[in-house]
Amino acid sequence: MAANVSHAFDIDSPYPLSAATVAAYSEKGYVKLKQVLEPGVIGKYRAAITRKVDELSRERLPLEQRNTYGKAFLQIMNLWTQDAVIREFIFGRRLARIAAELMGCQGVRLYHDQALFKEPHGGLTPWHADQYYWPLATDKTITAWIPLMPVPAQMGPLGFCPGSHRFQFGRDLEIGDESEESLKRILARFGCDESPFELGDVSFHSGWTFHRAGANESDEMREVFTVIYIDRDAHLAAPKNKNQIDDWNQWCPGVKVGEVVDSHLNPIVYESSDAVG
């Protein structure tokens, strides 16, 4: 259940989702929503997130010494376990309720959070589908991509291939040069929605939706925070690759194959009985 905390800013009230928006998510595998979070909310939690990212990434290698994935962004995970303010944000019901309603779930758990900060002149994020990494026996998985600042085209906004959550090809590809080269040729025929994000916009995409982001061609850090939600009743699947074994150990400790993913790192963040307003 959601943590019993008081909020200086609104992170709990419902965001109105139309039937057409829910249908669009089902059809395309993603939606981009306007004015989901107020500037004051973003400002408060951005300060906590950027402070923690800076603290935890001071030993990073120079860009030129990293591989393609390493050049794509600074990736810091499960910040909610390390900072009380970020934990407060994670337990906000507004984003979690959107996730549940888009997927048609009675409730959602946290899989994990991550900061994805694309450095000035950082490289592209190759085409990939997140669920390649997840040992989960459900397709009801969703990522909220939350820009902490406006993300214009030159800073590498997230782009999606519409309808690709239904594709079977490419699901065995780890993110990297191979996935970029293999998928960009195939996905080109289906198009890519890679429009900018304004402050307050949040996108939600399915775990099997193929997505990418361009390079950050600006002189400013692109600051984004993501939260991955899964169906409250999701079960752990037998891992299909080494990455899924790593995810099992890291994000679902102690859970056995076939059991509900309910470790101490996978709290329920929203249930329909929590509805407010």
For the chain, give the percent of residues with pLDDT over 90.
82
Residue type, 103: M
DSSP letter string, 218-234: SSS-EEEEEEEEEETT-
CA 208 to chain centre: 12
Check residues 5 and 14 and name the one with the higher pLDDT.
Answer: 14
CA 151 to chain centre: 16
The kind and range of the H/E element at 148 are: none
* Confidence (pLDDT) at 64: 54
* Confidence (pLDDT) at 6: 39
pLDDT band at 71 (very low <50, low <70, confident <90, very high): very low
The answer, yes or no, to whether residue 274 has pLDDT greater than 70, is no
Q: Are 201 and 24 in contact (CB under 8 A)?
A: no
* Confidence (pLDDT) at 277: 42
* Confidence (pLDDT) at 1: 39
The answer, yes or no, to whether residue 160 has pLDDT greater than 90, is yes
Which residue ranges form the domains of the chain, and what is each CATH number? 33-252 (2.60.120.620)
Q: Are 46 and 86 in contact (CB under 8 A)?
A: no
107-129 confidence digits (pLDDT tens): 999 999 999 999 899 889 999 99
* Confidence (pLDDT) at 179: 87
The answer, yes or no, to whether residue 253 has pLDDT greater than 50, is yes
d(CA 177, CA 132): 16
d(CA 72, CA 119): 8
Kindly state the DSSP code that residue 7 receives in the 8-state scheme: -
20-70 confidence digits (pLDDT tens): 999 999 999 999 999 999 999 999 999 999 999 988 875 564 655 555 544
